[in-house]
C-alpha cells in the first residue's frame, strides 16, 4: 500500500504490449485531405499577408525596397559570374562572338543594376523619411482580389 492506496500489480508483459501498440496510419485519402487543408491554410495566410502589405502605403514601399535590395544582390552575383566567364574566354581564338555576347550581357546587367539601385534609393527614402502614409480598407482592396489575381491558376 502506498499512501493509503493499494498497489495494483500489472504484468510487465501487458504494459510492454500496450506501449508498443501501433497507431493506425492514415490512409491515402486522409493524407491527401490533410495536405489539401494545409495548403488551403498556407494559401489563406499568403493572401492575408499580401493583402495587408498592399493595403498599406508604408508596407507596399517596404516591399518595393526589399525587392530592390534582393534584386541588387542577385545582379551583383550575376555580374561576378559573368565577369569570370568573360575573363576565361576573352583571349581564346575563335571565341569573339561568344565574348561579344558576354560583353553585351554584362553591359545590360550593369544598366539594370543602375536602375534597380536608383529605385532602391527612392523606396528607401519613402519608407525612411516619408511623411505620407495611408492604409486602405478591405472594402477597397478585398482579399478576394488578391486571391483571384495572384493566387489562382491562369485561365487555360
Question: Can you give the CATH number for the domain in which 108 is found?
Answer: 1.10.287
Residue 29 half-sphere exposure toward CB, CA atoms < 13 A: 0
The tens digit of pLDDT for each residue in 87-118 reads: 999 999 999 999 999 999 999 999 999 999 99
Note whether 71 and 116 are within 8 A (CB).
yes
Note whether 141 and 45 are within 8 A (CB).
no
Cα 75 to Cα 60: distance, rounded to the nearest angstrom? 22
Q: Residue 105 domain-assigned? A: yes
Note whether 138 and 51 are within 8 A (CB).
yes
Q: Residue 66 domain-assigned? A: yes
Q: Which residues of the chain have pLDDT under 70?
A: 1-23, 28, 30-31, 33, 35, 154-156
Please report the pLDDT score of residue 131 as a whole number: 77
Q: Residue 28 domain-assigned? A: no
- The whole-model pTM stands at 0.68
Q: Find the domain containing 97 and state its range.
A: 39-128
Helix axis angle for 57-89 and 28-55, nearest 10°, is 110
Please report the pLDDT score of residue 20 as a whole number: 61
Note whether 141 and 54 are within 8 A (CB).
yes
Rg from Cα positions in the chain: 30
Q: Residue 77 domain-assigned? A: yes
Domain count, the chain: 1
Q: Residue 108 domain-assigned? A: yes
Note whether 133 and 57 are within 8 A (CB).
yes
Q: Nearest 5°: CA angle at 54, between 139 and 126?
A: 130
Q: Residue 91 domain-assigned? A: yes
Amino acid at each position: 500500500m502506498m499512501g493509503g492506496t493499494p498497489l495494483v500489480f500489472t504484468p510487465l508483459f501487458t504494459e510492454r504490449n500496450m506501449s508498443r501498440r501501433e497507431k493506425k496510419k492514415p490512409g491515402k485519402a486522409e493524407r491527401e485531405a490533410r495536405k489539401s487543408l494545409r495548403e488551403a491554410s498556407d494559401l489563406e495566410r499568403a493572401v492575408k499577408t499580401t493583402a495587408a502589405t498592399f493595403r498599406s502605403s508604408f508596407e507596399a514601399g517596404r516591399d518595393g525596397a526589399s525587392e530592390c535590395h534582393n534584386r541588387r544582390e542577385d545582379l551583383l552575383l550575376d555580374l561576378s559570374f559573368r565577369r569570370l566567364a568573360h575573363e576565361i574566354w576573352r583571349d581564346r581564338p575563335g571565341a569573339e562572338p561568344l565574348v561579344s555576347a558576354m560583353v553585351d550581357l554584362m553591359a545590360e546587367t550593369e544598366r539594370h543594376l543602375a536602375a534597380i539601385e536608383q529605385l532602391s534609393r527612392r523606396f528607401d527614402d519613402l519608407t525612411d523619411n516619408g511623411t505620407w502614409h495611408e492604409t486602405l480598407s478591405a472594402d477597397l482592396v478585398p482579399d478576394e482580389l488578391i486571391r483571384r489575381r495572384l493566387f489562382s491558376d491562369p485561365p487555360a
